[in-house]
Structure 1
Amino acid sequence: MNFIIFMSNTISDTFKDLGFKKECALVPFITAGDPNLNVTEEALKILDAEGANLIELGLPYSDSLADGPVIQAAAARALHNQLSLEDIFNRIAQLAPNISTPIVIFTYFNLILSQGVDQFVTRVRLVGAKGLIVPDLPVEESEYLLKLCEENSLELILLISPTSSIERIKLIAEKSQGCLYIVAGTGVTGFRANVDIEVKNLISRVKSVTKKPVIIGFGISTSAQASLVKSWGADGVVLGSAFVNKMSNFNSDSTLLNLRSFCREIKQALLMK
């Protein structure tokens, strides 16, 4: 494989830039291959053009324990097309030089194991992605993957849950690369009517022990919720099911327009003072 100079910043550099501008990161999530890779490519270009600061790209998986029904259905649609991991990686490699937003691969550890951990991490680097999120990898078992990511100029983002003790928060904060991911509620991803006020307290607890940027996800689906979480001190806001839902029932005439409009709406909410 030929080596390519990729245009996008690292995750850490992205948050440094945003910190100087006092802006909150928009982090949309979509599922690779839903409904097909051509649409995924167009969606990634739209999210890049509309101001996404990081893009989580989920690898479709049949046993996605952290995902709610919307993202599970998206993974099922992608897998129905007999999409391979190599197909996805080849498409990322074609696209990455042409967008400025860092791509972060969201995947479960069994998919990494099935490829071989070393080989998987090397492949992620070569295709031009900038980081990994592995929701079912506990911090106690993360050392080897953290080491490999550091050696490959990738950043492994670790998750903090609402039930994490302050001692565990300190450990995760010490180990996580690029930023920290706070899970806004127990359970799986999806839509929630309100963001629990306890998230505000959790953000404060995390920021009391680390200067690393903090992104918030799971259950955030509207511009009002994104703006609220920003006001609580979040450095970035992740919206998954809300973006993935725009891709369901795909219609070539309207779906990508709706995705663009929704991304623009959330971006504007995060830019408002």
Structure 2
Amino acid sequence: MTRIDTRFAQLKDEGRKAFVAYIMAGDPNVESSLELMKGLPEAGVDVIELGVPFTDPMADGPTIQEAGQRALAGKMTLDKTLQMVRDFRAGDAETPIVLMGYYNPIYSRGVKRFLSEATEAGIDGLIVVDLPPEEDDELCIPAQEAGLNFIRLATPTTDDKRLPKVLENTSGFVYYVSITGITGAAAAQATDVGPEVARIKSQTDLPVIVGFGIRTPESAKEIAGIADGCVVGSAIVGEMASGARTEDVLAFVKSLADGAHSA
């Protein structure tokens, strides 16, 4: 079992919903993003989703795109991202970390080398949005053989014919994208999300976590109430971009986590 599997088993036993927080590695700099990352567990975050900055983030909206550009301008790299994880792990051996990014940097590094370094650093799972299930032999299967969860996204356009293929080699949890489009594009609506979550859960025993379009404690509670938890990314990244102090960003994160946990 990975840390992700363990965490979701604990949450199930406690009857609680999960709160997942996304941040961009190196935004606005390594020191600030590491300080924020270290504060997330105490703020109530159950799983950390750590973005790897990339030059062509096709699934991300302007807020996260700009965060990636700031990180790249500050010379953030995959090496430095993995070092961030090592530095975090020096003080936290339990909080699950999911690395979210795109395949190009992994391919350029070499899959075998990347997986070895990722597991050594303390990564627990991967979300690689530009590798479809048809390419599972490329990274998904090797990642799971290396002991990492490979988390797949399902979307409003994932119909009943496509869903079994999406779920086939997914592990850890299923990430349901609540809206059609890029991150931060619109608000998630529980009335739309609920039936889709139920449809996915009818075909898998994995937790279903909903992301995209969640910006407030109220919406975190609403969405977590009809799923196994929720993910917030753009709203947190936007707080960082506003120049807010780390402690103020963490207070905002705690309000979101409290909302999800009250579902």
Both structures adopt the same fold (TM-score exceeding 0.5) = yes
- Whether contact under 8 Å (1:97, 1:128) holds in the other structure is no
1:258 and 2:251 aligned: no
Q: CA deviation at 1:122?
A: 1.4
1:35 and 2:33 aligned: no
2:82 corresponds to: 89
Distance 1:49 1:171 in 2: 37
Moved more, 73-82 or 116-125: 116-125
Match of 2:181 among 182, 187, 190: 187
2:59 corresponds to: 66
1:206 and 2:206 aligned: no
1:139 and 2:129 aligned: no
Q: CA deviation at 1:9?
A: 5.8
Q: CA-atom RMSD, angstroms?
A: 1.6
Amino acid at match of 2:213: G
1:56 and 2:49 aligned: yes
1:229 and 2:223 aligned: yes
Q: CA deviation at 1:168?
A: 1.8
Match of 1:17 among 10, 16, 24: 10
Cα-to-partner distance string for 1:114-160 (whole Å, 9 max, x where unaligned): 11111111111110011100111111112342221122211010111
SS at match of 1:164: coil
SS at match of 2:99: strand
Q: CA deviation at 1:171?
A: 2.3
Amino acid at match of 2:85: I
Distance 1:21 1:164 in 2: 31
| Structure 1 residues 152 and 198: CA distance shift in structure 2, 3 A | same
Distance 2:142 2:188 in 1: 38
Distance 2:88 2:165 in 1: 35
- Whether contact under 8 Å (1:191, 1:242) holds in the other structure is no
SS at match of 1:105: strand
Distance 2:52 2:20 in 1: 16
SS at match of 1:28: strand
Q: Summarize the alignment of residues 100-249 of structure 1 with structure 2, pairs less than 5 Å apart.
A: 100-190=94-184, 192-195=186-189, 197-232=191-226, 234-249=227-242
Moved more, 143-152 or 197-206: 143-152
Distance 1:40 1:131 in 2: 20
Unaligned runs of 5+ in 2: none
Q: CA deviation at 1:164?
A: 0.7
Count how many residue pairs are aligned between Structure 1 and Structure 2. Answer: 262
Cα-to-partner distance string for 1:56-82 (whole Å, 9 max, x where unaligned): 000011100000000001001011112
1:5 corresponds to: none
TM-score of the superposition, structure 1-length normalised? 0.91
